[in-house]
Amino acid sequence: METHTLIYIILAGIAALLLALFQYLYKAKKNSLNKVFAFLRFVTLFSVLLLLINPKFEQTKFYNEKPNLIVAIDNSESIKHLKKTENVEQLIDNLKQDKSLNENFNVEYYKFGKDFKQLDSLNFDETQSDIANIFGNLSQIYKNTVAPIVLITDGNQTYGKDYEFESLKYKQPIFPIILGDTITYSDLKIQQLNVNKYSYLKNKFPVEIIAIYNGSQNVSTQLIITSGNSTVFKKNLSFSKSQNSHVVNLSLPANRVGVNTYSAVIVPLESEQNKVNNVKPFAVEIIDEKTNIAIVSDIIHPDLGALKKAIESNEQRSVSILKPNGFLDRQDDFQLSILYQPNTKFKAVFNAIEKAEGNKFVITGTKTQWSFLNGIQTNYSQEITLLTEDFQPTLNSNYSTFIIDDLDFNSFPPLQSEFGNLTFKTPIETLLYKRVFNDSIEQQPLLVTFENNSRREAILLGENIWKWRAQSFLNKKSFQEFDSFIGKLVQYLASNKKRSRLSLAYESFYNGVGEIKISAQFFNKNYVFDAKANLKITLKNIDSGSITILPFILKNNSYEVNLSDFSPSDYDFIVSANNGEMKQSGHLKILDYNVEQQFLNANVTKLQQVATNSKGTSYFIDNYKSLITDMINDVRFKTIQKSSKNIVPLIDFKYLLALIALSLALEWFLRKYNGLI
């Protein structure tokens, strides 16, 4: 307490005492209770003055802080395949019931497959496992606390980054409990199969197969590829302890349009325990046409390469980058023209596209000659200011021309373009709005699509879209989402098909790994997206004849149904809206491949390395009691006594207010009782 506050308290006590004595003892009628009244009045006055002075006191609280213990459990199918499910469930029960462990730690339980979540129950049905995802999530949750991890897993990862390197980012000890043993069995497997998803009729498509052998004996086998009942490829392979892998490259003919399924088989050894990993199915969709797209530009810019890469990520599309004069010589080869920052040299290009009634995608920027562009077409007109501005994108969630996903556009860097208002003279659909310095610009579009006289067109008002592709990679660690976004835009622009009220987005076949989703959009008679429609899908399993009916779920500006739990087979389906108001049919194939069943042993070496790198220790599941003993005795994980100091003002003490009320009430009662009032 400060000195001047103490002086104020002393003065308040003196003043309260003098006032009390003056009221009840100085020239007051003699009464045996005057001293009591004076005391009560002193208490009241002194307490009120203390509240006015409001001195502050330091309050110290002591508490014990136990370290956290994170138990992360592998919930993938590989645990079931290795026959360790009962061991894991028993281990979790033992950890929960161990009193000494729970007295020394705040134990938190999580499970993981492809996703990471708190433990509610274990069913070991996750089709993929991402161990690396654990360390990224926990680094944020337990950033400033002591939180070692007990990692219960076989160490076999099928998805995500390499967990051995990701674990280095988690700056706390990791204690793997290994579900498996160190015994090595002789095993042949197809480690990897690389093939393009699409090919073209009467061409050949390449296939690359990596075959691996684990064992010490010299063995011989065959690699066979079949399609239906036919064998399309066969090759003899020999393995030994030193020559334990083969990379086989081959080409197969594309003779039949549609989805063609194949099965690559490496003939198993008689002694093999796991024969599931000897087989790997794959499929290729054979198509008899290719979409050719021209990017016409008179300047060199990184956007050109980014667009080409994004569009050609779908092998059904081919992109040519041309000068305006070069385009005129080949204009009949293209189904879509992307005109990048047009200037007066594009006059013949615009006239040729107009004459051919073709579709186009115009991208503008700082080198665009708007005086030319305003005069060469009649759909829109830009205010010419000769000034530039940076515009960031904001997704229009009500865009309904085709199905789109939010790529976290708000995190994307700005595009640069002409400052000023753009006036449209035809109805448009805005896909992205402009935003300047995180403030939306009312009704100002950045990317729009429109249809005019059965022709489709889009305009993007900004250059440096290559930065968007780079940012998308930083956000998602993949170009796939951005490339898919550009691909959907190109697919819409390259087609002149009449717009349907019910549109579907799905693949012809799925590899049986990951999510299998079908998206749909439904529009009313005015082609406005209907968010209250009732959509359902009826699927027929071609092999079994069973029929399943599922509802679609509304998600943003589209409907979606998840088929990830469906068994591998061919399926015919019908999607109907509002009890048959609109219907659309299709066919898809789910391939039979379970990546979690490809493992025969636990990845002991990698888990032991993770433990060593993090200054932890690895244990086999049969030795889990040693883990409990070691963690309880580890000085790094001792309970710590901590204190917190708070400065508390006197006005927060409710007892003082109660004392004031009590002294006043008691004084009034005694005076009243003795007839002094």
- HEC assignment per residue over 66-92: CCEEEEEEECEHHHHHCCCHHHHHHHH
Name residue, tokens 């035809």. 426
- Mean pLDDT split into 10-residue runs, the chain, 677 residues: 78 84 70 78 85 77 84 88 87 92 92 89 85 88 88 87 89 90 77 84 88 88 91 93 91 87 90 83 82 92 94 87 91 91 93 90 93 91 88 84 81 89 88 76 82 87 94 89 90 75 83 80 77 92 92 88 87 91 88 69 88 92 89 87 73 78 84 73
- Cα(133)–Cα(113) distance, rounded to whole angstroms? 9
**Domain 187-287 indexed as CATH 3.40.50.300:** no
Secondary structure of residue 579 in the 3-state scheme: coil
Q: Is residue 399 a contact partner of residue 353, using CB atoms and an 8 Å limit? A: no
Checking DSSP bridges between strand 198-200 and strand 279-287, what pairing results, if any? parallel
> Which tokens in the block code for residue 335?
């189904």
**135 phi, psi to nearest 5 deg:** -70, -35
Query: Quick one: fold of 502-595?
Result: Immunoglobulin-like (2.60.40)
CATH architecture of 291-493: 3-Layer(aba) Sandwich (3.40)
- Cα(620)–Cα(273) distance, rounded to whole angstroms? 22
Secondary structure of residue 117 in the 3-state scheme: strand
CA distances from 522 to 346, 431, 539, 551 (A): 38, 18, 19, 14
CA distances from 240 to 216, 243, 501, 591 (A): 6, 5, 61, 32
CA distances from 655 to 217, 324, 658, 662 (A): 86, 88, 5, 10
What angle do the packed helices 34-53 and 654-673 form, to 10 degrees?
150
- Cα(94)–Cα(641) distance, rounded to whole angstroms? 28
Angle at 529 between CA 523 and CA 530, to 5 degrees: 80
Name residue, tokens 């990379």. 247
Task: List the end-to-end C-alpha distance of the chain, in Å, as a whole number.
Answer: 41
**Among candidate residues 618, 615, 600, the one with its CA nearest the CA of residue 156:** 600
**Among candidate residues 346, 344, 325, 330, the one with its CA nearest the CA of residue 294:** 330
> Which tokens in the block code for residue 349?
């290009």
**Domain 67-183+601-638 indexed as CATH 3.40.50.410:** yes
If phi over 0 gives left and psi between -120 and 50 gives alpha, with beta otherwise, what is residue 58? Answer: beta
